[in-house]
Amino acid sequence: MKPLQISRVTKHYGKQVAVNAIDFEVGQGEIYGLLGANGAGKTTTMRMVLGLIHPDEGHILWQGQGYSVELRRLMGYLPEERGLYPKVKVSDQVLYLAELRGMKRSEADKRLRHWLERFEVPDYYGKRVEELSKGNQQKIQFIAAVIHDPAILILDEAFSGLDPVNVELLKATVTELRRDGKTILFSSHRMDHVEEMCENICILHKSNTVLKGNLREIKRSFPRERVLLDTELEIRGLDRIPGVRSVERREAWTEIRIDKPEVAQDVLRTASEQSEVYRFQIMEPTLNEIFIKTVGGQNRS
Ligand SMILES: Nc1ncnc2c1ncn2[C@@H]1O[C@H](COP(=O)(O)OP(=O)(O)OP(=O)(O)O)[C@@H](O)[C@H]1O
């Protein structure tokens, strides 16, 4: 059994259901993707895992145990809304938070210096938070979330607002934490990040689970409706093939959207009748396409 179990968890705010009977489990050394449109219930779920709010129904267990103060010390949280005190020095703030998690100040100080070096910002140690850019404040908040070496890490939109270099830096760090055996709950609106990092996902929509499982298997279960084609000569009449939805010519290839997978063979036949075919690839749907199809479809119903 995986160490983090979320079972039939429901949460109401007044009459409104924020999370409705959701189930999932996260393994050690796993980054689990919690996805959903705005207001779907992701933050509410994360706050329940953290024990900041409590489920009305269902239960959340870590290694078979319910919430406790000791358990809270095993958790690291990067909230979506960044919450550092602007006037306080980086070192004072992070060391205070580390002590709250049960660390000795001297040990926390060593770890803070290590992380600042690692993020190539050692000179931030004595700066006030307000002197740092938004993205760099986020790096500090990330350090505050991991300084006590938590077993469970909860990352709500961890990479938002970061430049591409810092996104890569944090991505590599999170991947390393997974390798170290951490249990990581990861929420993001950036489907490419989720696709890159998560093995299993759960998509919430209006408080309900609409899709859940192994990402690779989910992708295989969706029809392949996109073809990439590169030919020596330009192909005429692609858009007249029944079942072809759109034809977009790009610099290096043509992208063809089709109604159903079988139409791909008609595309290949038409192309090879007219030219040598350099590349013909039937593409798996991206997570972004799956998300839009799933959540968009639910919106229409
Ligand atoms: N403190 C609260 N009081 C009342 N309703 C709340 C509260 N917090 C969240 N909600 C409601 O619960 C639902 C789920 O919100 P939640 O913040 O969990 O969504 P989310 O998936 O994290 O959204 P986003 O992507 O916008 O951050 C929403 O309808 C929201 O309005």
41 lines ligand 1 (CB under 6 A): yes
Kindly list the distances between the CA atom of residue 183 and the CA atoms of 124, 150, 260, in Å, as whole numbers in the listed order.
29, 9, 38
> What is the pLDDT at residue 301?
42
Shortest-distance Cα residue to atom 5 of ligand 1: 13
| Long-range pairs of 167-171 with CB within 8 A, sequence gap ≥ 24 | 167/193, 169/119, 170/139, 170/142, 171/196, 171/197
Rg (CA), the chain: 23
Q: Is 203 in the pocket of ligand 1 (CB under 6 A)?
A: no
pLDDT of residue 296: 82
Q: List the end-to-end C-alpha distance of the chain, in Å, as a whole number.
A: 36
CB 152 within 8 A of CB 68: no
Residue of higher predicted confidence among 299 and 94: 94
pLDDT at 135: 87
Q: How confident is the model at residue 251 (pLDDT cuts 50, 70, 90)?
A: confident
Task: Indicate whether residue 38 lines ligand 1 (CB < 6 A).
Answer: yes
What does the pLDDT read at residue 201? 97
Rounded distance between C-alpha atoms, residue 274 and residue 248, angstroms: 18
The pLDDT value given to residue 83: 79
**Residue 64: pLDDT over 70:** yes
List the alpha helices (DSSP H) in the chain: 42-49, 69-73, 90-100, 105-118, 134-146, 164-179, 191-197, 215-221, 263-274, 287-300
C-beta separation of 75 from 114 below 8 A: no
Angle at 122 between CA 120 and CA 128, to 5 degrees: 120
Q: How far is the CA of 36 from the centre of ligand 1 (A)?
A: 11
**In contact, 219 and 290? CB cutoff 8 Å:** yes
What tokens does 204 get? 């919430």
* Percentage of the residues of the chain whose pLDDT score is greater than 90: 84
Task: Identify which of 209, 212, 175, 151 has the alpha carbon closest to the alpha carbon of residue 31.
Answer: 175
Phi, psi of 209 (to 5 degrees): -80, 125
Separation in Å, CA 135 to CA 103, 120, 159: 26, 13, 9
Cβ(173) – ligand 1 distance below 6 Å = no
Find all residues with CB under 8 Å of 55, minimum gap 6, and list them: 9, 10, 11, 19, 48
* Cβ–Cβ under 8 Å, residues 126 and 113: no
**Helical (H) or strand (E) element with 199:** none
In this prediction, residues 51-64 reach a mean pLDDT of: 94
* pLDDT over 70 at 297, yes or no: no
Q: How far apart are CA 67 and CA 75, in angstroms?
A: 11
Distance 45 CA to ligand 1 centre (A): 10
Q: Is 141 in the pocket of ligand 1 (CB under 6 A)?
A: no
Spacing, Cα 38 to ligand 1 middle (Å): 8
Of 6, 9, 12, 16, the residue with max ligand 1 atoms within 8 A of its CB, to mutate for a pocket test, comes to 16
pLDDT grade for 300, boundaries at 50, 70 and 90: very low
157-172 pLDDT per residue, tens: 989 889 999 999 999 9
pTM summary value: 0.89
pLDDT for the residue 298: 59
**If you measure from the C-alpha of residue 63 to the centroid of ligand 1, how many angstroms do you get, rounded to a whole number?**
28
Backbone angles phi, psi at 169, to 5 degrees: -60, -45
Residue 245 CA neighbour count, 13 Å, CB half: 9
Q: Which residue's CA is minimally distant from atom 7 of ligand 1?
A: 13
Q: How sure is the predictor about 230, in pLDDT bands with cuts at 50, 70 and 90?
A: very high
Q: Is the pLDDT of residue 237 over 50?
A: yes
**For 187-224, how does the pLDDT look when each residue is reduced to its tens digit (9 = 90+)?**
999 999 999 999 999 999 999 999 999 999 999 999 99
pLDDT for the residue numbered 155: 96
pLDDT at 299 > cutoff 70:
no
